[in-house]
Homo-oligomer: A and B are copies of this chain.
Amino acid sequence: MGLRMPLSDMFSGFADVETVSAGTTVFTQGDAGTTMYVVKNGNLTVSIDGKQVATLRDEDIFGEMSLIDRSPRSATVTAVSDCTLVPLDEKRFLFLVHEAPYFSLDVMKVMADRLRVMNRLL
């Protein structure tokens, strides 16, 4: 299955990128929030209860869990370098799921990766 396509291509027409400076916390574990993000460029860390569980880089996505199930943020995400992020709100997310099946597959792939990482941490 061609599960990965360049997400940056998919979102190249999205003008409303967010730039965050190195050291900035994008969101904090426990926060409410329904926006997910695609990393256009930059590096970030993902921490749960103060423990770093993952790093993020270009083309990665994060924040999809709260968008999908409306629960609080499960982790804290902090920019390690200056980053450019593409925010996807619920409307844009649902549009992509309906119109771009490969986007759905990409989100599932990322979640499967994460589940395997979590399994190893058990």
Chain A residues within 8 Å of B, Cβ to Cβ = 1, 3, 48-49, 51, 53, 64-65, 68-71, 74-75, 90, 94, 97-98, 101, 104-105, 107-109, 111-116, 118-119, 121-122
Residue pair A74, B119 in contact (C-beta under 8 Å):
yes
Q: List 16 A-B contacts (CB under 8 A).
A: A1-B90, A64-B108, A65-B115, A68-B105, A68-B108, A74-B116, A97-B101, A97-B104, A98-B101, A104-B104, A108-B111, A111-B111, A111-B115, A115-B115, A118-B118, A121-B122
Interface residues of A, dominant DSSP: helix
- List chain B residues, Cβ under 8 A from A69: 3, 109, 112-113, 116
